[in-house]
Each structure stands twice: as structure tokens, then as C-alpha cells.
């Protein structure tokens, strides 16, 4: 039975009923219970997701789209049911606009490769922002190096946000694509996607949005946002690792060449005739898909829908505001950016005089998992003048009590090996 949102999760920060849904939350390190604040890297999985994956492999395991037998047909049906659930989750108009990939990185590379072979040429421009994760920076940089196009990087202000005027100024008649994050994986900054997309499209540019940090924390409607491509990874939204989604507008996908070719992408092949590729999504899903992953993602979507977005966002806001209030009492701790402006479940901090890795190691010794370093966005940290940050990222199973424990541990952190012996080294 689906439970109403107010019985599953509210803004109190308690959520004990929700915590019971996640088996890993029972983990202990000796006498210390696990506090998991590394959700922006990967979120834990509820029992519903684990059961859905196990059920597929136990009852329906078969390849899809090829086998004319009951298991094969059942597996295909479950995959397409998952595709429909993703379509509804992101507000796409058609299931033909939903492509399963291995994750956000794969999705961006797919689009960059296709754009490079069909749209982009020497002297054209690709616009990104300074806050991008490497997965939404390096594919475009490599593409520009390969094609002779120019990579235009929009600067980020001192509070870690992109000014619309700066973004507009970077666009021009040679802009072919603008690619930017919905939510920064470093600071939790929420970009004005709708407005940025409208500006880019006024120049005739395509728009790709990295939604990896948005999908777990807020409702996404790609049609309302007015974007051409939107991508996210299941594992950050309580689903399995190794499965992701690329949304592409149907008319845009129809003009793009396939990224990889092979089984499942063609109607048939004759050695002496041109290859006839299937329309999207099949032309972009060569080989055997991660069927169990897609089914697990569908279960994660159902789980989020059952909790309710109003409750999820209220919970995020409570945790972010509580963290900011408690962190403000710690003399050496500085919050980077402005996570209170539009809470997205991420708070990044700098501890004066102590290397981020020493902070992370101290917290881990107390059973608290955070992410410390550059978060695959070293260029962004350079622009902020920081070696790295300690990133605290929340999920539906986190509590106010866990934040209190984190702040108590931060009071006792001291300079360690990294601070003394490797004060400028960073690699994560």
C-alpha cells in the first residue's frame, strides 16, 4: 500500500520510518552508527529497489527485443514499462525521447559525439559554465579540440552562481550548444535553467543540462524547462549504479547519427546496401541494455513519488538550514556558496588551516562519510581560490541528529598528515 507523504517523510528531520527502508542504515563501525553524508556521489538504495533488481534476475532474466519466447517478451515489457516511468518522471512527451545509458557521463559523451559529427564545425562555439563537473566539461573540451570549435566558459560569481547577464554575453551567432548543470555538485547552487535555455535557443543553440544533482531533490519537467537534452544517473536518485537516462527532444534526436552501432540499432543489415538505423531510442542503445538497472530505477522513481516532492524538498530545506545554523557556531568553519538560497541537499565547507582530506579522515574515524577534495571540478575550485572543500550532501534518510553529531566531530578536528606533509596536494 502506498503511504501518504506526511506519514513517510516530513520537515522535522526525524524520518525514522524512511530510514527503516534502507538496509545499509543499520551498518555500525564498532559502537558507531553509520552517518552517510556522501549522497551527491551516490545515494543508498531502499529495499524496494534491491527487491526489484533481485526479482528481475530471479523470475524474468532474459535478453530483450530479440527473443520470441515468454521470458524474453516479459523482460522487454518490463524494460519498456521502466522507460514509460522515466518519461513521466521527467515530463517528456514520448518514450521515444528516453534513452537508457550507463549514467550522466555516458549521456553527455553520446550527445557530444553526435553533435560533433552532425552540427559542430571549425569556428563554431560551445558554451559551458565554470562550475561544471568534469563529465560535462571534458567531453566538450575534447570535442572542440577535435573539430576546431571554441569552448567558451562562463565565469561563476564569488557566491558560486552564474549571472544571467554573463551567460547571455557568452552566447553568439556561432554558438551551437550550451551545456550546464541544473545543480552544482560542489556547492548545490541551482541554476535558472529555464531562463538560460531560453537565451541559448534565441541564438539557435541546442541546450544540454546535467541533471545528476537535481533529479534526486526536485521535480524535473524537461518540456517546461525548454531544453533539448537532459541527463541524470540512477545511482544518485536511490537507483542502481550503471544505469542513467538521456532525454532528447524527438525532432533533435531524429537528426543525430548513432553514437555506437551494433545489435538492436538496425532493422536489418545487407552487406551491399546502406544500413537502415532504427529511430530513437533504439538507434542509441546498441547491445544488451542494463534491464535490471532500468527496473531498479523505475522502483526508485516509485519510491520518490510515494514520498512526495513537497515532503522531499521540505526535508532537504530543514536539513540544509539546520546545518547552516549549527556550522555557523564553529569558529574555523566557513560555508562556501549560498546553499540556503534554494536548498538542494548540498552544503560545502572549508575548515581554516586544515586540509580537506584531514577533515574527511577525522569524520570517517567517527563513522561519518562525507566527500572531501575537488569533486571532479578542480577548475571550479580554482576559480573559488580553494584547494578543495568538505561536501556534506543529504538524502531522505538523513536526520537533524546526524548533523548535530557531524558538528560535534568538527569541533575536535586537528591538522593531520595531509596538512603537515602535503598541504597543496589534491586528487579527488
253-274 burial, b at 16+ Cβ within 10 Å, e below that, comes to beebebbeeeebbbeeeeeeee
Query: Does the active-site annotation cover 15?
Result: no
- Hunting for cell 588551516 — which residue is that? 353
Can you read off the three cell numbers belonging to residue 212? 545528476
Phi, psi of 218 (to 5 degrees): -155, 155
Strand partners, 389: 373
**Which candidate, 51, 67, 52, 48, places its Cα nearest to that of 1?**
48
Note the maximum CA span of the chain.
Answer: 74
Is the C-alpha dihedral spanning 132, 135, 137, 140 positive or negative? negative
Of the residues 372, 376, 407, 409, only one is catalytic, namely: 376
Classify 20 as helix, strand or coil: coil
DSSP per-residue string spanning 107-123: HHHHHHHHHHHHT--TT
Dihedral of the alpha carbons of 316, 318, 321, 323, in degrees to the nearest 10: -80
CA distance 128 to 294: 29
**Which candidate, 229, 184, 104, places its Cα nearest to that of 344?**
184
- Sheet of 346-351: strand order equals 333-336, 346-351, 389-393, 371-373
**Which candidate, 300, 339, 337, places its Cα nearest to that of 323?**
339
- The contacts of residue 111 (CB under 8 Å, 6+ apart) are 208, 229, 231, 246, 248, 256
Element (H, E) at 29: strand 28-29
Can you read off the three cell numbers belonging to residue 21? 527502508
CA distances (Å), 334 to each of 360, 379, 389, in order?
15, 20, 10
Judge whether 179 and 132 are in contact, CB under 8 Å: yes
Catalytic residues: 376
Amino acid at each position: 500500500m502506498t503511504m501518504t507523504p506526511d506519514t513517510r517523510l516530513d520537515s522535522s528531520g526525524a524520518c525514522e520510518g524512511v530510514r527503516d527502508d534502507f538496509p545499509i542504515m543499520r551498518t555500525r563501525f564498532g559502537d558507531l552508527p553509520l552517518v552517510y553524508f556522501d549522497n551527491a556521489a551516490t545515494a543508498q538504495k531502499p529495499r524496494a529497489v534491491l527487491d526489484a533488481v533481485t526479482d528481475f534476475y530471479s523470475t524474468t532474466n532474459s535478453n530483450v527485443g530479440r527473443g520470441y519466447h515468454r521470458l524474453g517478451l516479459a523482460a522487454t515489457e518490463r524494460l519498456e514499462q521502466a522507460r514509460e516511468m522515466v518519461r513521466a518522471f521527467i515530463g517528456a512527451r514520448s518514450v521515444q525521447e528516453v534513452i537508457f545509458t550507463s549514467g550522466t557521463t555516458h549521456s553527455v559523451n553520446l550527445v557530444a559525439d553526435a553533435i560533433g559529427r552532425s552540427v559542430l564545425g571549425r569556428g563554431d562555439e560551445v558554451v559551458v559554465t565554470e562550475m561544471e563537473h568534469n563529465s560535462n566539461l571534458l567531453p566538450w573540451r575534447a570535442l572542440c579540440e577535435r573539430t576546431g570549435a571554441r569552448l567558451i566558459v562562463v565565469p561563476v560569481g564569488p557566491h558560486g552562481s552564474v549571472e544571467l547577464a554573463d551567460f547571455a554575453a557568452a552566447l553568439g551567432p556561432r554558438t551551437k550548444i550550451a551545456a550546464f548543470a541544473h545543480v552544482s555538485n560542489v556547492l548545490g547552487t541551482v541554476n535558472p535553467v529555464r531562463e538560460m535555455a531560453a537565451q541559448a535557443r534565441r541564438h539557435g543553440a541546442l541546450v544540454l543540462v546535467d541533471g545528476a544533482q537535481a533529479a534526486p531533490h526536485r521535480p524535473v519537467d524537461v518540456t517546461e524547462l525548454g531544453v533539448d537534452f537532459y541527463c541524470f544517473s540512477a545511482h544518485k536518485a536511490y537507483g542502481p549504479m550503471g544505469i542513467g537516462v538521456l532525454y532528447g527532444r524527438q525532432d533533435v534526436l531524429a537528426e543525430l547519427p548513432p553514437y555506437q552501432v551494433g545489435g538492436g540499432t538496425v532493422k536489418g543489415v545487407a552487406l551491399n546496401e546502406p544500413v537502415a538505423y532504427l529511430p530513437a531510442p533504439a538507434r542509441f542503445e546498441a547491445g544488451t541494455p542494463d534491464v535490471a538497472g532500468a527496473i531498479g530505477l523505475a522502483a526508485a522513481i516509485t519510491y520518490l513519488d510515494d514520498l512526495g516532492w513537497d515532503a522531499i524538498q521540505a526535508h532537504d530545506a530543514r536539513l540544509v538550514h539546520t546545518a547552516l545554523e549549527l556550522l555557523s557556531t564553529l569558529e574555523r568553519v566557513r560555508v562556501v556558496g549560498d546553499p540556503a538560497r534554494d536548498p538542494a541537499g548540498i552544503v560545502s565547507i572549508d575548515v581554516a588551516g586544515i586540509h580537506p582530506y584531514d577533515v574527511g579522515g577525522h569524520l570517517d574515524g567517527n563513522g561519518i562519510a562525507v566527500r572531501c577534495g575537488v569533486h571532479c571540478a578542480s577548475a571550479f575550485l580554482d576559480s573559488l581560490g580553494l584547494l578543495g572543500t568538505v561536501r556534506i550532501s543529504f538524502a531522505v534518510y538523513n536526520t537533524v541528529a546526524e548533523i548535530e553529531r557531524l558538528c560535534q566531530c568538527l569541533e575536535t578536528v586537528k591538522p593531520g598528515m595531509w596538512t603537515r606533509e602535503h598541504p597543496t596536494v589534491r586528487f579527488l
